[in-house]
């Protein structure tokens, strides 16, 4: 009986994970459509294996870019733009994602969060 219950729990967990992965992929596709990413650019962000954890990081990165840049057009332009600053070193964020994978997405997200923090009214009021 315990083996049967364990098998049912394992099947349920597998089903839930598959449903969550599908929901993440759907959310990623919606956001990618919003900003106007081409199919090959989606692959660079999401990764060839369509790893859900990388997709979540990509979603966070696009959301941070939208928050910082304010428009989908500016966001997609930023993703394609060559940036001199580290960690990009004259690569576009998309090129960083392609070459450094999940770590590249994390670095770009950190870069954006730093810029958002610096641009916040709280940061400018308390800068001494």
Which residues form the domain of 79?
A: 2-125
Distances in whole angstroms, Cα of residue 128 to Cα of each of 75, 106, 109, 123: 31, 29, 26, 10
Counting the structural domains of the chain, the total is 1
Per-residue pLDDT of 40-58, as tens digits, reads 988 888 777 777 888 888 8
Per-residue pLDDT of 58-97, as tens digits, reads 888 888 888 888 889 999 999 999 999 888 899 999 998 8
Distances in whole angstroms, Cα of residue 102 to Cα of each of 44, 50, 53, 56, 58: 10, 11, 8, 10, 9
pTM for the whole structure: 0.73
> How many C-beta neighbours within 10 Å does residue 100 have?
15
> How many C-beta neighbours within 10 Å does residue 48 have?
9
């Amino acid at each position: 009986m315990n083996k049967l219950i364990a098998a049912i729990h394992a099947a349920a967990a597998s089903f839930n994970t598959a449903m969550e992965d599908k929901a993440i992929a759907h959310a990623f596709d919606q956001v990618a459509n919003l900003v106007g990413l081409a199919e090959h650019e989606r692959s660079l962000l999401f990764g060839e294996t369509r790893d859900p954890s990388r997709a979540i990081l990509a979603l966070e990165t696009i959301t941070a870019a939208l928050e910082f840049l304010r428009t989908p057009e500016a966001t997609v332009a930023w993703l394609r733009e060559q940036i001199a600053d580290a960690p990009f070193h004259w690569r576009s964020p998309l090129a960083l994602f392609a070459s450094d994978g999940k770590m590249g997405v994390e670095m770009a997200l950190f870069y954006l969060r730093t810029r958002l923090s610096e641009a916040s009214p709280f940061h400018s009021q308390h800068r001494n």
